[in-house]
Structure 1
Amino acid sequence: MSGTGGACADVVVVGAGAAGLACAADLLAAGLSVRLLEADDTVGGRMRTDRIGGFTLDRGFQVFNTAYPQVKRRLDLKALRLRPFTPGVLAHTSDGPRRFGDPTRRPRHGGPLPAEGASVRDTVALGLLSARDMLAPVSWLRGRPDATTATALAEAGLSAGLVETFLRPFLSGVFLEDDLETSARFFHLVWRTMLRGTPCLPADGIGAVPAQLAARLPDGVLRTGARVAALTPDGVALAEGGGLSARTVVVATGQSAAARLLPGLRVPPGRTVTTLYHAVARSPLAEPTLVVDARRRFLNSCVLTELHPGYADDGRALVSTSVLGSPGPDATAAVEAALGEAYGADVADWEAVHRVTVRDALPAMPPPLALSRTSRFGPGRYVCGDHRATGSLQGALASGARAAREVLADLRAAPDAPAAAPPQP
């Protein structure tokens, strides 16, 4: 090796989030030598869990969906000790709480619309939309003309009342934007996975998912605490000095870091979300149900210890609440007041135990959205991540898998030199 020092590998993968872990695993399975570098002290990227003060705290509110194809392929679901959320939501409205649930899973929680005041038109329209998204071939959903989610809901015949009471507040927490400007193509795929899968969380927090993927890598592949300062002609340079040489480099970081390492790469804007954690002496809702606010003062809230009591060591309830952006002290107080209304509880004794703001938590996904983009950026340079596909665990894993396929194809076509791919910003 010249210039950067260290042993030469076939491929260096930069970033051990979901995309980088998937890419590295597939390249190793194909017989290549791989080094996976992670700047942080452990794997996962945005899928991280911290233990603070006896609480299990994900970095931002997380939901694990069992219907994702990549999840089924790569993970041992039983080992994660998953427990499900209630299949539905409670919407806090000016008229009080209204429940939207799935009667095929828990009939006592009502139908796909609240029993009181539900119009026949909305019942039929939402049923038809759901049936089509659940049963239609994925290729058909992918190939339809794209528009905003707001347009798609209106064209499906759903009333403004249903959209404002249920769909907008719920989907705002999925898309991390409250104008429903996200691609309808992505909405239909997400709706499909919600209907087909089970939203849940692992017993040890969402960080157990990338930890399981990393545990399957051979010794010597993964190196944490290794921040890549720049890509070099023969590999990567590390911020601590030295580096690694490789014929091929895959950048599998978040979009901001990817744009820094690959000048000229166009990345979508990122969505920022802040999650507040409160410890409460008594659970304000004795079920693992997502609560949303029709007035949109917060995105969603949930009593996490109703899924896993072990999320709080001291026996108290742990409430997670997410809001768009990064609210200041006054806004935080307003959120807590809104929580008191939504749960019908006195929040004066709720203890704020943690707060985490995640920047670039999701990429913006306006229409027309390409559900998958090539990883090829230039000769010997590739990029993957959810910002190259869809803002989801499925998108990140699928993008990593695509990068591995393209790297393998190019190396086999030109085994003695990096592929001379045209730049793909």
Structure 2
Amino acid sequence: MNKLDFKIHIIGAGVSGLIAARVLEDNGFSPVIIEATDRVGGRVKTDIIDGYQLDHGFQVLLTAYPAAKKYLNFEALELQKFLPGATIFNNGNTKTIGDPLRDLSLLIPTLTSGIGTISDKLKVLKLNQLLKKTSLSEIFVKSEKTTLQYLLDFGFSEEMISKFFKPFFSGIFLETKLETSSRMFEFVYKMFGEGYASLPKAGIEAIPKQLLQNLNNTTFKFNTKVTSIKDGEITLDDNTKLESHFTIIATEASSLISNLKNQSTKWKSCHTLYFETEGRVMIKPIIGLIPEAGTLINNIFYHTSIGTYTTANKELLSVTVVDNQNLSDEILIERVKTELKEHCNIHSCKFIKQYDIPMALPKLKDIRYEMLASETRLTTSIFLAGDTQLNGSLNAAMISGERAALGVIETLSSTISSESITSEYR
């Protein structure tokens, strides 16, 4: 058999599945991607509503992600950078803190913010220098503790933790107690320090769309649901059975493999609400935080503070709620409006849309940065990809997709001349 004769299927057209297809194509194969929805992206999608770009949840691309730099064309994405800091709404006051070494405009606001002690600010510099010298591989072999314990052990004050670290990283980790692994904290903090949070001008879905555009020999089956997978065979929901020499599962695998039924991934959820407002209480592109205990709102951001392709002439505000306190949608919207008024002085806002995202981030223990291609192999011909294999990040999704594809290629190398397989990924 030559390479084009092998039937290689990828389940899921999210970022991980698209990267797997790219690697397979680069090595001469023509995979088939089976996707349950009508388009690529998985959890990374953008809708156009009322002339605004609404991402499915408040997501950003960290430009320091190694895998993103490898697989994405940042210039073509027209990345719009955020200021490296946050505006904190507390007791009717607004304070801004950030990294003045990367944006000088943040120097005076940070020094005069009154958030954290002089010692806290020195410890921030110490942490920056420590992680600058620490490699990613070193971060992910350290003993794990909670992020909260890490910050306490580092010597940060309770005020610095409660007013900055907790609201900022709760929005990233999608949990309010900072129970996430210290490995993930160091990784994300290092990525923020070495690059910028950004969004493509066309919204977050521009990322999978770009990956799609780079595929030339991949076949897509959209609106096609897979119900079960076993070696050599894929069963669809209409009972169609597809022959498959190799299958990469780039989505939740537990419901598709009989012996994984009791090993389903646990997920963190969040809720993102979009509003149209007349003006902006934060003029610059910066994240707003509400640190007060008991509030629904974790963070706010004006998407119209950065360049977009929107046609509407007002402002677009996103609000992230990590814990909706089991409120109904109607009550949640009204409570969020009240909090925007009380804490952020936002008095007039028109509700546009709410996204409830039950599978926003995987809950993982013993998180890793890297994996061998052979580690993605579940059975003779089934391989696993997706950020659930490593850590909850876009970077991890890309790495795992690459590794699963290489796992297939390594398995095939005994029957295909290894000389035809590129060495770029080894």
If the length of structure 2 is used for normalisation, what is the TM-score? 0.89
1:35-54 correspondence to structure 2 within 5 Å: 35-54=32-51
Alpha-carbon distance in 2 for matches of 1:50, 1:178: 28
Where does residue 4 of structure 1 map in the other structure?
none
Where does residue 156 of structure 2 map in the other structure?
158
Alpha-carbon distance in 2 for matches of 1:403, 1:221: 18
Alpha-carbon distance in 2 for matches of 1:177, 1:414: 47
8 Å contact 1:283–1:316 — kept in the other structure?
no
Where does residue 420 of structure 2 map in the other structure?
none
1:267 Cα deviation from its structure 2 partner: 4.0
1:319 Cα deviation from its structure 2 partner: 0.3
Where does residue 197 of structure 2 map in the other structure?
199
Task: Name which of structure 1's ranges 155-164 and 134-143 shifts more when overlaid on structure 2.
Answer: 134-143
- What are the superposed Cα offsets for residues 377-417 of structure 1, whole Å, 9 maximum, x if unpaired? 112111110111111110100111111122222222467xx
Task: Name which of structure 1's ranges 239-248 and 200-209 shifts more when overlaid on structure 2.
Answer: 239-248
DSSP 3-state at the match of 1:332? helix
Where does residue 72 of structure 1 map in the other structure?
69
DSSP 3-state at the match of 1:272? strand
8 Å contact 1:277–1:352 — kept in the other structure?
yes
1:282 Cα deviation from its structure 2 partner: 2.1
Cα 1:232–1:346, aligned 2, differ >3 Å: closer, same or farther? Answer: same
If the length of structure 1 is used for normalisation, what is the TM-score? 0.89
8 Å contact 1:63–1:199 — kept in the other structure?
yes
Where does residue 127 of structure 2 map in the other structure?
129
Where does residue 147 of structure 1 map in the other structure?
145
Where does residue 385 of structure 1 map in the other structure?
386
Q: 1:358 aligned to 2:357?
A: yes
Please point out which of 27, 31, 34 is paired with 2:31.
34
Amino acid of the structure 2 residue aligned with 1:276: L
Task: Name which of structure 1's ranges 46-55 and 89-98 shifts more when overlaid on structure 2.
Answer: 89-98
Where does residue 317 of structure 2 map in the other structure?
319
Structure 2, unmatched stretches of 5+, are 417-426
RMSD over equivalenced CA pairs, Å: 2.1
Alpha-carbon distance in 1 for matches of 2:40, 2:121: 44
User: What number of residue pairs does the alignment pair up?
Assistant: 403
Alpha-carbon distance in 2 for matches of 1:177, 1:98: 23
Amino acid of the structure 1 residue aligned with 2:44: M
1:220-259 correspondence to structure 2 within 5 Å: 220-253=218-251, 255=252, 258-259=253-254
Alpha-carbon distance in 2 for matches of 1:55, 1:9: 43
- 4+ residue runs over 4 A deviation: 111-114
1:15-414 correspondence to structure 2 within 5 Å: 15-94=12-91, 96-110=93-107, 113-117=110-114, 118-253=116-251, 255=252, 258-265=253-260, 266-295=263-292, 296-311=295-310, 313-326=311-324, 327-328=327-328, 329-347=330-348, 350-366=349-365, 368-372=366-370, 374-413=375-414
1:152 Cα deviation from its structure 2 partner: 0.8
Cα 1:345–1:112, aligned 2, differ >3 Å: closer, same or farther? Answer: closer
8 Å contact 1:278–1:319 — kept in the other structure?
yes
1:241 Cα deviation from its structure 2 partner: 4.6
1:154 Cα deviation from its structure 2 partner: 0.9
Cα 1:206–1:309, aligned 2, differ >3 Å: closer, same or farther? Answer: closer
1:243 Cα deviation from its structure 2 partner: 4.0
Task: Name which of structure 1's ranges 66-75 and 292-301 shifts more when overlaid on structure 2.
Answer: 292-301
Amino acid of the structure 2 residue aligned with 1:237: T
Alpha-carbon distance in 1 for matches of 2:109, 2:32: 48
Cα 1:76–1:247, aligned 2, differ >3 Å: closer, same or farther? Answer: same
Structure 1, unmatched stretches of 5+, are 1-6, 416-425
8 Å contact 2:61–2:197 — kept in the other structure?
yes
1:56 Cα deviation from its structure 2 partner: 1.0
Alpha-carbon distance in 2 for matches of 1:30, 1:56: 36
Cα 1:383–1:309, aligned 2, differ >3 Å: closer, same or farther? Answer: closer
Alpha-carbon distance in 2 for matches of 1:184, 1:330: 35
